[in-house]
Structure 1
Amino acid sequence: MDLPKLSIAALGGTVSMQASNAGEGVIPSVSGEALLSSIPELTTLAGVTVETLGLLPSASLDFEFLLNVLSWAEFQVKQGAVGVVITQGTDTLEEAAVFLDYLWPYDTPLVLTGAMRSAAQPGADGPANLLDACRVALAHNSQQRGVQVVMNGQIHQAGSVRKTDSLALQAFSSPVVGPAGLLLEDRVRYLRPPGQRTVLPLPQQTTQKVALLEASLSADTLLLENILALDYDGLVIGGFGAGHISQRWATTIEHIAKRIPVIIATRTGSGSTARASYGFGGGEMDLIRKGASMAGFLCPRKARILLWLLLGCQRQHALAQYLNEDI
C-alpha cells in the first residue's frame, strides 16, 4: 500500500540543540534527518521527506527567512505532500505560526512544533512532539485548519496560541478559547470545527518597519515622539488593561496616527481590548477618536505581524476589517 507523502523542515531551536562540550550551553546542531531517526515509527505512517533549512535559535529568525520557508512548504504541497511539518525554537513559535497562517492558502495542514527540553536532556520532548505533529499533519480532519501548533499533546490554532511559561514543559496555551484539539491514544481529536480563515497575498515589499512598544507606569514619551523621525511605517502598543495608555502617550499618539497606522493591543496576556467602556484620556474611546485601532483579541506581537503584512501588500486601509474578526 502506498503511504501518504509527508514533508518535514527543520529550522533549529531547542528541539535541535545539544552541547558540544560538558558545561557549555546547548546550541542548534541536530539536523532534521537526525531528529527523524529518533522516531522510527513515523516510517510506518508516511513516506517522509525531510530537509534542514536552518539551524538557528528562533530569536534569530526573521520575516525574510519565513517567506523562504513558506515557499518551500508550498512547493511540497505542489509535489503531493498531504501534510507539512516544521520544527523550530519555541521562543518565537507563536509569531512564526501566525505569520505563516496569514499567508497559507491551502487546505493542506501546515503544523509547527518544537521542544522545551534540548535533544541531549533526559526526557527530551522533541521526538514525542514531532511524532504528534506528524500525526496531526496526516489526519484527514486537520484539513482546512490552516497553520497549527502541536506541543505537549495539544493542538493550538496559530491565531490564539501563546507561550505562557519560559521553561515549563507545559509552556503553550490558548487563552480564552483553549486548545483546538488533543492527541488521545495516538488519535487526532478536535474539540471544534474549522473556523473561517483570513489569507493575505504575499507581501509585495518587505522593507516596511513596524515598531512595538509596551505601556508601563510613568513611562516617558521619548521613543514615541521619535517614531515618525525614525521612518517607521506602523506602530503597535501593548497597552494597559483593555487597551489603555497614559494621557501623555495619548496626546503623542494623536499626531502619529495621522501619518501611520497605530494599533493598541492589551499587554495582559489574555482577553480583548475594549471599544466603548472607558472614556478618560488614554482610554480606548479616546484613542479611537484620535485615530488608533484596537487589536481586539490579537496580542501585541501578532498585531505587529498583521500590520507588517498588510503594509507589505498595501492593504493597511483595511486594517479595521482584519482586527474586528472573531478570535
Structure 2
Amino acid sequence: MDLPKLAIAALGGTVSMQASHVGAGVVPAVSGEALLTTVPELKNLARITVETLGLHPSASLSFEFLLSVLHWANAQVEKGATGVVITQGTDTLEETAAFFDYLWHHDAPLILTGAMRAASQVGADGPANLLDACRVALASNSRCRGAQVVMGGQVHHANSVRKTDSLALQAFSSPVVGPTGMLLEDSVRYFHEPSQRKLLPLPQRTTQAIALLESTLSAETLLLDNILDLGYDGLVIAGFGAGHVSEQWADAVEKIARKIPVLIATRTGSGATAQASYGFTGSEMDLIGRGALMTGFLCPRKARILLWLLVGCQRQDELACFLARD
C-alpha cells in the first residue's frame, strides 16, 4: 500500500526538553528525529519527513521565525505532503496557531501540538500528542479546516483555543465553543463542518509594533500617554468585563485612536466584548464612539496577532470585517 506523505517540523518546547543532570531544569534538547523514535506506530501510517527547525522555548519564538516555518510548511505541501505537523512549546501555542491560520492557504491540514511534561519525565505526553496530531493531519475530514491544535486527545480550532492552566496535563480548552473534534479509537471525529475562513497574504512589512496593555484597578495612564511617541502602529487593550476601561484610560484611548488602530478585548478569559449594553464613560459604547473597535470573542493575544498581520499587509482598514467574523 502506498502510504501518504506527512511532514513534521520540530521547533523545540517542553516536548523536546530534558535535564542535563539531576536537579537541573529542563531545556530544549531532543530533536524532531529523536522524538519520532518514541512513536514507532507512525511508520505504519505515513512516509515521514521530519526536520528540526529550531530548539527554542516557545516564549522566544518571533513572527519572523514563524514566517520561515510557514515557508517550510508551504514547500512540504507543494512536494505532496497530505498534512503538516508542527511541534513546539505550549506557552505560545495558541498564538502561533492563530498566526498560521490567517496565512495558511492550503486545504491540507496544518496541525500544532506540544507537551505539558518534558521528554525526560515519567508519563511524558509528547509522544501521544504527536501520534494524535499525525492522525489528525492524515485524516481526510481534517481538510479545509486551517490550523488546528491537538492536545490531550482533543482537536481545537486555532481561533478559539487557549492555554488555560499553567502546569496541568489538560491545559488547553476552547472557552464557550469547546473543542472542534476529538480522537476516538484512533480516528478523528469532528463535531462541526469546516467553517469559512478569511485569509491574509504574507505581510509585506514585519517591523510594525503592536502594544498589548491590560486594564487594572486604578491603573495609571503613563504607558498609554506615550504609546504614540514610542512608535507603536497599533494598540490592543485587554479590558475589564465586556470591554471596559477607566475614565482616564478612555480619554487616552480617544487620542490614540485618532492616529493608530485601537482594539478592545476582554481580559476575562471567556466570553465576548459587548457592543451596545453599557453607556458609562469607559464602557464599550463610549469607547466605540471614541474610535476603538471591539474584538468580540477574539482574545487580546490573538487580536494583537491579527492587527500585526493586517498592518503588515497594509489592510488595517479591514479590521472590522475580520472582527465581525471572529
Identify the TM-score tier after normalising by the shorter chain.
over 0.9
Aligned match of 2:324: 324
Deviation at 1:198, TM superposition (A): 1.1
- For residues 123-134 of structure 1, the aligned pairs below 5 Å read 123-134=123-134
Q: Say whether residues 1:97 and 2:131 are aligned partners.
A: no
Aligned match of 1:220: 220
1:188 counterpart letter in structure 2: V
Identity of aligned residues (%): 74
Aligned match of 2:146: 146
Cα distance per residue 1:78-136 (max 9 Å; x no partner): 00000000000000000000000000000000000000000011000000000000000
Cα distance per residue 1:202-251 (max 9 Å; x no partner): 10000000000000000000000000000000000000000000000000
Cα distance per residue 1:121-158 (max 9 Å; x no partner): 10000000000000000000000000000000000000
1:239 counterpart letter in structure 2: G
Aligned match of 2:301: 301
Cα distance per residue 1:259-291 (max 9 Å; x no partner): 000000000000000000000000000000000
- For residues 187-226 of structure 1, the aligned pairs below 5 Å read 187-226=187-226
* Paired positions, count: 326
**For the residues of structure 1 that align with 2:172 and 2:120, how far apart are their CA atoms?**
22
Cα distance per residue 1:42-82 (max 9 Å; x no partner): 00000000000000000000100000000000000000000
**For the residues of structure 2 that align with 1:113 and 1:325, how far apart are their CA atoms?**
25
Aligned match of 2:285: 285
Q: Say whether residues 1:168 and 2:168 are aligned partners.
A: yes
Q: Say whether residues 1:119 and 2:119 are aligned partners.
A: yes
Aligned match of 2:230: 230
Secondary structure of 2:223 counterpart = helix
**For the residues of structure 1 that align with 2:302 and 2:233, how far apart are their CA atoms?**
16
Aligned match of 1:16: 16
**For the residues of structure 1 that align with 2:95 and 2:86, how far apart are their CA atoms?**
14
2:168 counterpart letter in structure 1: A
List alignment gaps of at least 5 residues for structure 2: none
**For the residues of structure 1 that align with 2:64 and 2:315, how far apart are their CA atoms?**
19
TM-score (norm 2): 1.00
Aligned match of 1:311: 311
- Which stretches of structure 1, 4 residues or longer, exceed 3 Å deviation after superposition? none
Q: RMSD value over aligned CA atoms?
A: 0.4
Q: Say whether residues 1:4 and 2:4 are aligned partners.
A: yes
